[in-house]
Homo-oligomer: A and B are copies of this chain.
Amino acid sequence: MTEKIKIGMAGFGNVGSGTYSVLQRNAKEISRRAGRDIEVSRIVVRKPERISSLVDESVKVTTDWKDLVQDPEIQVVVEVMGGIEPARSLVLGAIEQGKHVVTANKALLAEHGNEIFALAQEKGVNVAFEAAVAGSIPIIKALREGLAANRVEWVAGIINGTCNFILSTMRDTGRGFNDVLAEAQKLGYAEADPTFDIEGIDTAHKTMILSSIAFGIPVDMSRIHIEGISKLEAKDIRFAEELGYRIKLLGITKMTENGVEVRVHPTLIPNRRLIANVEGAMNAIVVKTDAANSQLFYGKGAGAEPTGSAVIADLVDIARTIDAKSSQRPLMPTLSTLGNKPWSDFGDTRSSYYFRIPVDDKPGVLADIAKVIAENNISIESLIQKEPAYPETSTEIIMMTHQAKESDVQRAIRTMQQLQSVLGPIVLLRKEELR
């Protein structure tokens, strides 16, 4: 066997400790697959005393991330500390020193990926990040290698376990968002400050990375439309169910004639689709391509060992080709000729829509609404008007549309919102066939 490779880890939280323990437990099999031993030689953490009993005594445990950059023994830096700084400085510093990097940091890549990949290209090193999207699921590898023959048409994923747990539970129990969020927090599925998850920001970071890989374009968080799940009401989940749909928070990226779309929002999905049946904290991603057609990848999106599994897969890939020329390493970042293709404007997005419109139970109301809809080039696919609790009080119209243009829909909503018979805010959700 060739010489072992030495790695340094930044961070030893959930993902770091999961990576370490799987590396120890399955060392023999991992070495066989990597063609050499992988040895953790240094770990950088804020409080070394907390972890010294958890790792082998041969591992140097220190506190300054610069130790990783400067240690000449270390060939690969595993960044599992999270956050933007000092993660960004560490990653750039390591690349600058000719070290390969494995990172699970989706925020870092979604915000600063271009800078990081440009430097990696210049220095001829790998930056691998399977763990940054959908935890254990080898989706980055599938997009870059498994589907290398294909043109990607779109990617749509349930890639935030917290949101999927909340939405699954709301549907199963009929309970409201805040109630279920509190339960998710108690069970450890949601953080004390859940904003990042429930407002869709985490999903947006991952979707941006998927978009970049699927279409070979630079990341640009300013181009992504983001809606979370915190305003979703139990009754919309119920109405969607009546109509044959489940609501999931999807990250979607699509190649259209206007450019690449990237968006995150609660989405109605026909309940016969496999992805509509992904429950609890699980993740799943559907990829639609020209040759392979439709594929789905399903697994754990978070957790110490599942995420560690993805980190180690990257380490094995790097170890296997670490002596090869950089062009022979499959993980080299490559931007396609699409690199300068413009993003599509969100207003140009085409989707189908679900409206819930609170209205007066009076004659002519539906005619007024239907007129606004038609004037904005939207056509109605189906409609439910709920019986009011008492005659001539308020009621609700649930409407599903055919494909329409987002800017037309926004204009229609603004106009309807002015109608005297519309009694409150109109709820707008989007539907995807995912076919």
Within 8 A of B (CB), among A133-168: 136-138, 141-142, 144-151
Q: Is A234 an interface residue (CB 8 A)?
A: no
Could you say which residues of chain B place their CB within 8 Å of the CB of A312? 148-149, 291
Pick the residue among B35, B306, B313 that contacts A327 (CB under 8 A).
B35
Q: Is A292 an interface residue (CB 8 A)?
A: yes
Q: Are B328 and A292 in contact (CB under 8 A)?
A: no
Q: Is A113 an interface residue (CB 8 A)?
A: no
Could you say which residues of chain B place their CB within 8 Å of the CB of A293? 136, 299-300, 303, 305-306
Pick the residue among B30, B33, B141 that contacts A141 (CB under 8 A).
B141
Q: Is A228 an interface residue (CB 8 A)?
A: no
Stretch of A185-193, A236-244, A318-326, A358-366 with 4 or more beta carbons under 8 angstroms from chain B: A318-326
Q: Is A334 an interface residue (CB 8 A)?
A: yes
Could you say which residues of chain B place their CB within 8 Å of the CB of A270? none
Distance of A341 from chain B, by nearest CB (Å):
13
Question: How long is the Cα–Cα vector from A303 to B291 in the complex, in angstroms?
Answer: 10
Q: Is A32 an interface residue (CB 8 A)?
A: yes
Interface readout for A1-42 with B: 1 if CB under 8 Å, 0 if not? 010000000000000001000110110111011110000000
Q: Are B290 and A26 in contact (CB under 8 A)?
A: yes
Q: Is A346 an interface residue (CB 8 A)?
A: no
Pick the residue among B298, B317, B334 that contacts A33 (CB under 8 A).
B334
Question: How long is the Cα–Cα vector from A328 to B324 in the complex, in angstroms?
Answer: 7
Q: Is A177 an interface residue (CB 8 A)?
A: no
Q: Are B294 and A148 in contact (CB under 8 A)?
A: no
Pick the residue among B18, B34, B144 that contacts A148 (CB under 8 A).
B34
Question: How long is the Cα–Cα vector from A142 to B323 in the complex, in angstroms?
Answer: 23
Q: Are B145 and A313 in contact (CB under 8 A)?
A: yes
Q: Tell me how many residues of A have a C-beta within 8 Å of chain B.
A: 66
Q: Are A292 and B309 in contact (CB under 8 A)?
A: yes
**Residue among A148, A303, A323 with most chain B CB within 10 A:** A148
Q: Is A425 an interface residue (CB 8 A)?
A: no
Could you say which residues of chain B place their CB within 8 Å of the CB of A35? 327-328
Q: Are B313 and A320 in contact (CB under 8 A)?
A: no
Question: How long is the Cα–Cα vector from A429 to B327 in the complex, in angstroms?
Answer: 52
Within 8 A of B (CB), among A34-65: 34-35
Q: Are A29 and B274 in contact (CB under 8 A)?
A: no
Could you say which residues of chain B place their CB within 8 Å of the CB of A297? 295-298
Q: Are A328 and B328 in contact (CB under 8 A)?
A: yes
Question: How long is the Cα–Cα vector from A324 to B146 in the complex, in angstroms?
Answer: 20
Could you say which residues of chain B place their CB within 8 Å of the CB of A178? none
Interface residues of chain A, those whose CB is within 8 Å of chain B, are 2, 18, 22-23, 25-26, 28-30, 32-35, 130, 136-138, 141-142, 144-151, 216, 274, 277-278, 284, 289-300, 303, 305-306, 308-313, 316-317, 320-321, 323-325, 327-328, 330, 334, 336-337
30 A–B contacts from the bound complex (CB under 8 Å)? A25-B290, A26-B149, A26-B290, A30-B149, A33-B145, A33-B148, A33-B334, A136-B291, A138-B141, A138-B146, A141-B141, A141-B142, A145-B317, A149-B309, A149-B313, A150-B309, A274-B274, A274-B278, A274-B298, A291-B305, A292-B306, A292-B310, A293-B305, A295-B298, A296-B297, A296-B298, A297-B297, A321-B330, A323-B325, A324-B328
* Apart from A29-B151, A30-B148, A292-B309: 7 A-B pairs, beta carbons within 8 A: A26-B150, A32-B336, A32-B337, A136-B293, A294-B300, A295-B297, A295-B300
